[in-house]
Amino acid sequence: MFRSPAFTLLLAFTATAATDTPPKVTFNKDVLPILQQKCQECHRPGEVAPMSFMTYGETRPWAKAIRESILSRKMPPWFADPEFNGHFTNERRLTPEQINVLTSWIDNGAPEGNAKDKPAAVRFAQGWSIGKPDMVVEFPHDLSIPATGIIDQANLLVKVNFPQDVWVKAAEVRPGNPKVVHHMKAWIRPPGSPWMADAPEGELYKPTRAQFAPASRDSQPTTGPRPVQDILAKYNPGVNAQEFTVGGAAKFIAAGSDIVFEVHYATTGKPETDRTRLGIVFAKETPTLRYVTTTGVNNASFVIPAHAVNYEVKAESVLQAEALLAWVQPHMHLRAKDYELRAHYPSGESQTLLKGKFDFNWQLGYEFAKPVVLPKGTRLESIAHFDNSENNPYNPNPNIDVSYGPQTTDEMAVSFMGFIVKVSDDPMKLFPRRGAMPVVE
Ligand code: HEC
């Protein structure tokens, strides 16, 4: 290899420098690569975080706050206990080395460093992160959101009437106006389902409990995969696009299906509008495995006493067929503080699949790096604890008993789960007592 004298000199210089004084941690060389990898997903213009960390100028004023937020593990938002490091593909944790780099940068005056050390800017997907959708389902018109007040969670029907059966590789909900969208889900409404059947299209609507009855088998096709009520896509801060290709699976939408959006709006102090879109990328081939997203375990009959500091709520279901568990998203409200999911296998063994803190502001989903094999007869059990005392800063009212309900001031103890089953299986038979039903009212 050709080596100029200057290059040799430089090598010698670097070697000496390294032994004498440790190399100074700078923004351009050491910090920016970490921000690119762990923070800019949210901390850039147009995304959920209120400040951008794309440049030195934008980041420097936040140095102290960054130190605090990473040492308290508030940022980046990730709540699985350390024993689960490496278990989830969407893990969003800083390594101890990365925490070290960031804190020593801040403790040494947060220098910018040499522009030559700067890594190339990351190219984030513009618009859809699933790539160009094959199909876009959109609210038929803008919805008006009032300036103030609490807007109850409600549903909105879009009569898509899919012209043929389709298999879906990936789907994504993109809020038209992220400022007002607290969370949003897109459910598949199978043909013949009584759910939302009489709802006006494109308007917020609250279905009654009776409308949750599953469609009768008579109204459904008898050949091919069974159409079911299935969550196609979800949006909330920290969760957007989802791929269903684990193990070669895809999600099924039957011909004649419609889309029901479950929407929860927040107000901003100004009148706003929103027109949300759902992007769908089709699978190229018919898969052998099917991805179904549904309420895995749910408890709708608990009462958390006023002032209770650590009230436990469990929920469970027994699987009636073998399935793989690919994804779990615990869902609780303002009083929840921690969460655990256990699998009790028919062999008598038990395993904790996820355990960690819970923060209402971050309804994170956890993607298993290795989907968990759940044999028929496995009992899934969730254990959550709630703080209904005045010590909980999020608690809207410690003086009342709190029970199950869809609004933020009520509570929930449900786990949405992504299961992988054989295409020939009937997903309604995974949990026959309840079926694949939405939990909102
Ligand atoms: C999934 C999205 C997301 C990621 C990833 C993320 N943040 Fe944030 N961050 C937010 C949001 C939203 C807020 C504002 C709300 C809040 O404070 O919780 C925030 C707030 C902050 C704040 C202000 C906290 C305060 O007390 O005012 C700091 C500092 C911060 N983030 C640093 C970071 C750093 C450093 C990283 C990467 C190591 C990171 N964040 C990764 C979404 C994110």
Q: Tokens representing 156?
A: 């909105």
The finding on whether 41 has its CB within 6 A of some atom of ligand 1 is: yes
pLDDT at 432 over 70: no
Query: Model confidence at 215, in pLDDT bands (50, 70, 90)?
Result: low
Q: What is the pLDDT of residues 319-333, one digit of tens each?
A: 999 999 999 999 999
CA distance 420 to 289: 6
Query: Model confidence at 6, in pLDDT bands (50, 70, 90)?
Result: very low
Give the pLDDT of residue 209.
Answer: 63
Contacts of 392 (CB under 8 A, 6+ apart): 334, 335, 337, 398
**Are the C-beta atoms of 91 and 79 separated by less than 8 Å?**
no
The finding on whether 163 has its CB within 6 A of some atom of ligand 1 is: no
| Residue of 294 and 56 predicted with greater confidence | 56
**Residue whose CA is at the smallest distance from ligand 1 atom 19:** 49
The finding on whether 48 has its CB within 6 A of some atom of ligand 1 is: yes
**Residue whose CA is at the smallest distance from ligand 1 atom 1:** 238
The answer to which of 118-122, 292-296, 385-389 has the lowest mean pLDDT is: 292-296
What is the arithmetic mean of pLDDT over 250-263? 95
What is the arithmetic mean of pLDDT over 414-423? 94
Q: Tokens representing 205?
A: 């609507």
Ligand 1 atom with the smallest distance to the CA of 98 is 38
Ligand 1 center from residue 49 Cα (angstroms) = 6
The finding on whether 106 has its CB within 6 A of some atom of ligand 1 is: no
CA distance 434 to 139: 30
pLDDT at 245 over 60: yes
Ligand 1 center from residue 62 Cα (angstroms) = 10
Give how far the C-alpha of residue 402 lies from the chain's centroid of Cα atoms, to the nearest Å: 25
Q: What is the pLDDT of residues 185-211, one digit of tens each?
A: 999 999 988 888 889 999 999 877 666
What is the arithmetic mean of pLDDT over 207-220? 60
Q: Tokens representing 285?
A: 């081939």
Q: What is the pLDDT of residues 350-376, one digit of tens each?
A: 999 999 999 998 989 999 999 999 999
- For a ligand 1 pocket test, name from 69, 79, 122, 357 the mutation site with the most ligand atoms within 8 angstroms of its C-beta: 69
Give the pLDDT of residue 123.
Answer: 87
Query: Model confidence at 224, in pLDDT bands (50, 70, 90)?
Result: confident
The finding on whether 94 has its CB within 6 A of some atom of ligand 1 is: yes
pLDDT at 62 over 60: yes
- For a ligand 1 pocket test, name from 30, 36, 39 the mutation site with the most ligand atoms within 8 angstroms of its C-beta: 39
CA distance 388 to 166: 45
Give how far the C-alpha of residue 264 lies from the chain's centroid of Cα atoms, to the nearest Å: 15
Query: Model confidence at 222, in pLDDT bands (50, 70, 90)?
Result: low
Query: Model confidence at 12, in pLDDT bands (50, 70, 90)?
Result: very low
The finding on whether 75 has its CB within 6 A of some atom of ligand 1 is: yes
Give the pLDDT of residue 271.
Answer: 97
Give the pLDDT of residue 226.
Answer: 87
CA distance 211 to 168: 26
Amino acid of residue 272: E
